[in-house]
């Protein structure tokens, strides 16, 4: 199937007001879609289905699933196109005061409580230009080749689009991979980055937390060196954590509960930070900083492929694979408006103005494809 017929098919689905998700996987250079055959809203809190899941930040709210048995899946080789020369951003018009006051409040609270990090966020409403959502999606794809670029739609929920740099985790058979991501800089600096102690500390909190959270059900853990990675025009600190899940069939729910929400989108300790967010942010994150992706996909894997004298088929096995991403750098789109969601990690060493500017930079990554 070529790219035109692929997108035409999704467009027809959208016109018929049927649920779909289209997403890129840069790792194997593909774009895939799931088209649900009816418009039923199916929810999950067990994460045991084989399907595509779309979950909110607050898991007390429901997660939507497109079950495999009710969906058609299509896949094409990615043709990301060339990013057009889009004008650089218009400044955020919003009043920065409210957001900076919220940061001050968090810093004050950290001085008087056990909380050491909290991720605060805000949304920005802009008018939707006449561009079709598929054009917007293709522009995002062209600009964010390393990200998981998605567009998700359900007629009873709405339309979300984003380009996330953050894997929540993937499970391939018994192999669990997750990352810790934090720290943000603009990537226009040519010289190597001198990350500040505040940024390094913020990212280390995430790595330590993840290691601890998975310790009780994994073995053979290995933690990579921390590196600087690019996400659009931003840079982040990233560490990769690998481990084996101690059972043949890795059930998703305990892993999700252990890792979501990570201190990269919530804070530390998790309960205190989550309470602070839900009480003080003054808006609903909905699916922003939730997670999304394919879960429990039966996949054939072959072991010992190099051993010529062994019949391969004897060594082929089926594992369940899941690829879940944190919903960052995302927006909710309706007929006339686009709501962009952005946030950043706050510690006691945070400077409110710099934190505000960081969220402005993050919203620019999305706005630069909208206008």
Ligand X SMILES: C=C(O[C@H]1C=CC=C(C(=O)O)[C@@H]1O)C(=O)O
Question: Which residues are registered as beta bridge partners of 235?
Answer: 185, 230
The answer to the question of residue 264 lying near ligand X (CB under 6 A) is yes
Nearer to ligand X, 197 or 336 (CB): 197
Give the x-and-dash track for 110-129 against ligand X (CB under 6 A). Answer: ---------x-x--------
- Choose which of 106, 338, 342, 360 interacts with ligand X (CB under 6 A): 342
Candidates 166, 193, 339, 196; CA nearest to 263 is 166
Residue 140 interacting with ligand X (CB under 6 A): no
CA distance 151 to 291: 13
Which residue from 56, 267, 290, 345 is in contact with ligand X, where contact means CB under 6 A? 345
Under the binding rule (CB under 6 A), the answer on residue 236 touching ligand X is yes
What's the chain's length in residues? 371
At residue 151's C-alpha, the angle toward residues 124 and 299, to 5°, is 140
- Positive/negative CA dihedral, 144, 145, 147, 150: positive
CA–CA dist 208, 155 (Å, integer): 40
Q: Does 285 bind ligand X (CB under 6 A)?
A: no
Q: Which is nearer to ligand X, 214 or 273 (CB)?
A: 273
Give Dmax over CA atoms of the chain in angstroms: 70
Is 361 among the residues that bind ligand X (CB under 6 A)? no
Q: Are 336 and 321 in contact (CB under 8 A)?
A: no
Work out whether 362 is an interface residue with ligand X (CB under 6 A): yes
In the list 170, 329, 332, 367, the residue contacting ligand X (rule: CB under 6 A) is 329
Q: What x/- string results for residues 173 through 192 when contact with ligand X is judged by CB under 6 A?
A: --------xxxx--------
Asked if 171 interacts with ligand X (CB under 6 A), we say no
Residues paired with residue 149 on neighbouring β-strands, in sequence order: 163
56 binds ligand X (CB under 6 A): no
C-alpha span between 187 and 82 (Å, rounded): 19
* 272 lies in the binding site for ligand X (CB under 6 A): no
- Shortest distance, position 327 Cβ to ligand X, whole Å: 9
C-alpha–C-alpha distance, residues 21 and 32, integer Å: 8
Q: Is 154 exposed, middle or buried (0-12, 13-18, 19+ CB in 10 A)?
A: buried
Q: Which is nearer to ligand X, 32 or 339 (CB)?
A: 339
| Nearer to ligand X among residue 161 and residue 182 (C-beta) | 182
The footprint of ligand X (CB under 6 A) covers 119, 121, 166, 181-184, 236, 264-265, 328-329, 342-345, 362
């Amino acid at each position: 199937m070529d790219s035109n017929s692929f997108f035409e098919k999704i467009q027809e689905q959208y016109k018929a007001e049927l649920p779909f998700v289209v997403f890129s996987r840069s790792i194997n250079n593909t774009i895939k879609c799931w088209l649900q055959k009816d418009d039923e809203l199916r929810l999950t809190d067990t994460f045991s289905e084989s399907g595509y899941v779309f979950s909110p930040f607050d898991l007390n709210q429901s997660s939507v699933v497109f079950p495999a048995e009710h969906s058609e899946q299509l896949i094409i080789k990615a043709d990301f196109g060339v990013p057009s020369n889009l004008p650089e951003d218009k400044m955020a018009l919003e009043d920065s005061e409210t957001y900076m006051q919220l940061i001050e409040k968090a810093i004050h609270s950290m001085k008087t409580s056990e909380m050491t990090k909290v991720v605060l966020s805000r949304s920005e409403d802009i008018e939707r230009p006449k561009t079709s959502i598929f054009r917007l999606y293709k522009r995002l794809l062209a600009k964010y080749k390393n990200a998981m670029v998605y567009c998700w739609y359900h007629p009873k929920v709405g339309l979300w689009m984003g380009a996330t740099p953050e894997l929540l985790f993937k499970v391939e058979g018994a192999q669990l991979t997750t990352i810790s991501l934090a720290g943000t800089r603009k990537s226009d600096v040519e010289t190597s980055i001198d990350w500040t102690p505040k940024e390094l500390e913020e990212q280390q909190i995430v790595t330590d937390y993840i290691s601890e959270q998975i310790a009780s059900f994994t073995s053979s853990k290995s933690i990579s060196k921390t590196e600087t990675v690019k996400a659009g025009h931003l840079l982040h600190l990233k560490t990769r954590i690998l481990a084996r899940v101690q059972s043949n069939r890795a059930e998703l729910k305990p892993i999700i509960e252990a890792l979501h929400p990570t201190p990269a989108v919530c804070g530390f300790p998790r309960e205190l930070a989550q309470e602070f967010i839900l009480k003080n942010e003054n808006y609903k994150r909905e699916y922003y900083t939730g997670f999304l992706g394919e879960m429990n996909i039966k996949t054939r894997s072959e072991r010992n492929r190099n051993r010529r004298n062994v019949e391969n088929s004897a060594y082929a096995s089926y594992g369940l694979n899941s690829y879940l991403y944190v919903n960052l750098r995302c927006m909710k789109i309706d007929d006339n408006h686009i709501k962009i969601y952005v946030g950043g990690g706050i510690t006691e060493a945070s400077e409110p103005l710099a934190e505000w500017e960081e969220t402005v930079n993050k919203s620019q990554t999305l706005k630069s494809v909208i206008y």
